Structures are given as C-alpha cells and as structure tokens.
Amino acid sequence: MVNLKNKDIISIRDFTIEEILYILNMAADMEGHSYPELLKGKVLATLFFEPSTRTRMSFESAMKLLGGEVISFAEPGATSLVKGESLKDAIKIIEGYSDIIVLRHFLEGAPRLAADTISIPVINAGDGTNQHPTQTFLDLYTILRAKGSLEGLSVGFLGDLKYGRTVHSLAYALAHFPCQMFFVSHPSLRMPVDQLEELKERGVKYSEHDSFEEISHRLDVLYCTRIQQERFADPVEYEKVKGTYRLSKGLIEGLKVKPDFKILHPLPRVDEMDESLDETPYAVYFQQAKSGIPVRKALLAAVLGAKEL
C-alpha cells in the first residue's frame, strides 16, 4: 500500500519502484480531469533561487487547477535574504505561511536541509548539479506514453552528463526497470564516476561514447540535454565544448534510427537541437513539458494527502 502523504520529494533515490509507478498512474488518472476543490484552502510556496520557466509555472498552474493558492518568489534579491537572513530562518518563516514548499536552489543539498528544518513537505525543484526528481517523474511519464512501457528500453543520454541534474535523476530511475544506457558526451562532460559505479552495482548495462551517430541505431529513446554554460567556473572550458552536438531533422533522417525512436529534452534548448526536428515524429519534448501539469498535480495531491488511487 503506497502512501506518500507528507513525504518530502528530495531525491529520486528516496522512491521505490512501486511509489514511482503509483505517481505515474495517478498522473494518468488525473490528466484532463478537473479537481477545482481538491486543494482548496491549501497554500503552495514556490521559492526559486535559480531561473525557471517550466518547473515553477507548471507547479503553480497545477496548484491552481486543484483549487489551491500560490505564494512565490523567483527573485531572491527582493527578499530579506539579501539582508543576511539564512535559508534555514527563511524556510522556518515560510513554513508558517504555507502547507507545502517547492524549492530550487543552486546549492546541492539545500532542499534536504530545508526538509530537515521544517515539518511541512518540501519538494526539490532542482538543486545545483545534483537532482531534479519531479522532472524525472514527468520524463518517465512521457517515455511511458511514447513507448507503452518503461521495461528494457535502450536509452541514450546526450550532452551535459557531468552537470545535468535531470540526467542524474533519470538514469537512477530507469535502472529500476532496467534499461540499457548509452552515455554520449564530450570527454570532459562524462557522467560522474560515483553515479556510474552506482549503476554498475545495480546491474545496469551501460557504455560511454563520443559520437551519437555510432549508437543511434540502437536507441529506443534519446534524452538530449543543453550544455549548461552557467555551471562552468571557467568560461574558457565552456568555449571548448559548446556546440559539440547539434541534432537536426536532416541528421536523424540520415541515420538508421528505429521507426519509433523518440527524442526527449528537459528544455530549455540552446543550439543542441534544431527547430527542424520539432515537426518530426521523433520529437516528444513539447509533450514532455506539458506533462508537467498532470505529474505535478499528482505529486501535490499525493503529498498533501488529498487523493489516493
């Protein structure tokens, strides 16, 4: 019996396969249905210390669609944090104004610290290069919708595998099913060694590559990511790797990809994925972003104890 009431969502590692499937099923159950009373009287606080379009707005939209209210800041510079208030103190104060907190922070571990500090649920909306668990739920939801199953897929990861928190979370989750993984990146942007060790210990078959073309024919799904300029301490290092990969309709059509091959991307994109791909049957990334609504509705409803399957 799965019960996620009052559960913090900090890392995908904190979820069993049963809990993951429960949320995916609840999202499917809620998609397209209206629940204007479900979270009436509840308040969500969204606290974003890094920029966001999809995560913040889809959480806020989901809360409103469930009848709840939202308080928010996306400009920490306009809060009393600039006067020297600590994150712990700010979180304790906001606990008194809300029923649940969604927090994005540039420091790995900040959402865990917040969850350990207060008693209302905390949801990690991305902490540095570490984890982005709610993105993983919607990535899994999109793959399930596109492929009909999560079992035994061949999944490629392309781009910034070193700093990409969405990659780190998704690879861990897909190991449950289990999937074969192909990690494609510039040599300086490989998956962190500790994460590869973890996959190996869990029995995942994986390989590392420089070239997407050499493994494209083997993939059911490609998870493409942006090379994140903002994560590089040295701009010279970014200049060395920027533009390394550029997917386009012409490139994909020239390769022997599987007929039902699908491309996901957490977005935003910069130059790694050409707009010519958007109208191809391979592209599911806009659908993926849209799935933020049913998935985050399910997460809010489950954690606030308002709905069960």
As annotated, the active-site residues are: 54-55, 83, 104, 132
Pick from 133, 156, 159, 266: which binds ligand CP (CB under 6 A)?
A: 266
**Contact yes or no for 42/28 (Cβ under 8 A):** no
Nearer to ligand CP, 95 or 127 (CB): 127
Does 111 participate in binding ligand CP (rule CB under 6 A)? no
Nearer to ligand CP, 64 or 218 (CB): 64
User: Which one of the spans 14-22, 49-57, 156-164, 247-255 is the region binding ligand CP (CB under 6 A)?
Assistant: 49-57
Q: How far apart are CA 157 and CA 265, in angstroms?
A: 10
Q: For the residues of 46-76, what is the DSSP string, one character each?
A: EEESS--SHHHHHHHHHHHHTT-EEEEES-G
Q: How far apart are CA 56 and CA 73, in angstroms?
A: 10
User: Which one of the spans 13-21, 46-54, 216-224, 229-237 is the region binding ligand CP (CB under 6 A)?
Assistant: 46-54
Tokens found for residue 110: 């900040």
Q: Which long-range contacts (CB under 8 A, 24 or more apart) does 73-82 make?
A: 73/46, 73/47, 73/48, 74/46, 74/48, 76/47, 76/48, 76/49
Does 54 participate in binding ligand CP (rule CB under 6 A)? yes
Does 133 participate in binding ligand CP (rule CB under 6 A)? no
Least separation in angstroms between CB 89 and ligand CP: 26
How many residues make contact with ligand CP (CB under 6 A)? Answer: 9
Q: How far apart are CA 41 and CA 221, in angstroms?
A: 41
Nearer to ligand CP, 253 or 271 (CB): 271
Least separation in angstroms between CB 51 and ligand CP: 6
What is the number of alpha carbons within 13 Å of residue 287 lying toward its C-beta?
18
Residue 100 phi, psi (nearest 5) = -160, 145
**Contact yes or no for 257/214 (Cβ under 8 A):** no
Nearest C-alpha neighbor of 283 from the set 254, 237, 252: 252
- Helix pair 17-30, 133-147: axis angle to 10 deg: 70
Least separation in angstroms between CB 266 and ligand CP: 4
Least separation in angstroms between CB 126 and ligand CP: 6
Does 52 participate in binding ligand CP (rule CB under 6 A)? yes
Pick from 71, 113, 144, 267: which binds ligand CP (CB under 6 A)?
A: 267
Does 130 participate in binding ligand CP (rule CB under 6 A)? no
User: Which one of the spans 5-13, 15-23, 48-56, 92-100 is the region binding ligand CP (CB under 6 A)?
Assistant: 48-56
Residues that bind ligand CP (CB under 6 A): 52-55, 126, 135, 266-268
